[in-house]
Amino acid sequence: MPEVLVCKDGEIAEGGVRLIKVGREEIGVIRHSNKYYAYRNVCPHQGGPACEGLRMPQVVDRIGEGGILLGQTFDEDDMHIVCPWHGYEFHLADGCHVIDRNLRLKRYEVVQRGGEIFIAV
Ligand code: FES
């Protein structure tokens, strides 16, 4: 599978995204916790620029005895990409929608080699 150079490792700030064009596709390369993720910048809902949205951790209910809701907290190990158009959320790790796993961002493999970041297209 051909690889496309994105940038040197470290050129994307932690928590940042770099958009690149590959043919007619726009792909967002996201850096989070020193890992890189790449997705087509098109939301499967109505085509919004999903990769340009906020990234937020999963909200987790804290349930006490008797099923009483005690509050909510965040799961920082499950970051979401939030599409800026209507707020659909996708797991950063695999691009799947948080509720409907059949709805997903198109994912690209990221390759780190020799201090550079590539995506396989
Ligand atoms: S286009 Fe992304 S949530 Fe609607």
Which positions of the chain have pLDDT values less than 50? none
Atom of ligand 1 nearest to the CA of 50: 2
Taking the C-alpha atoms of residue 75 and residue 77, their distance in angstroms, rounded to an integer, is 5
The identity of residue 114, as a single letter, is G
Check: CATH 2.60.120.10 for 3-54+80-120? no
Q: Is ligand 1 within 6 A of the CB of residue 83?
A: yes
pLDDT digits (tens, 9 = 90+) for 44-71: 999 999 999 999 999 999 999 999 999 9
The partner residues of 25 in beta bridges, in order of sequence, read 22
Please tell me the predicted confidence (pLDDT) of residue 71. Answer: 97
Phi, psi of 10 (to 5 degrees): 100, -10
Q: Is the pTM value of this prediction over 0.85?
A: yes
95-107 b/e (C-beta count within 10 Å ≥ 16 → b): bbbbeeeeeebeb
Tell how far the Cα of 81 is from the centroid of ligand 1, in angstroms: 11
Residue in the block written with tokens 């929608």: 97
> From the CB of 98, is ligand 1 less than 6 Å away?
no
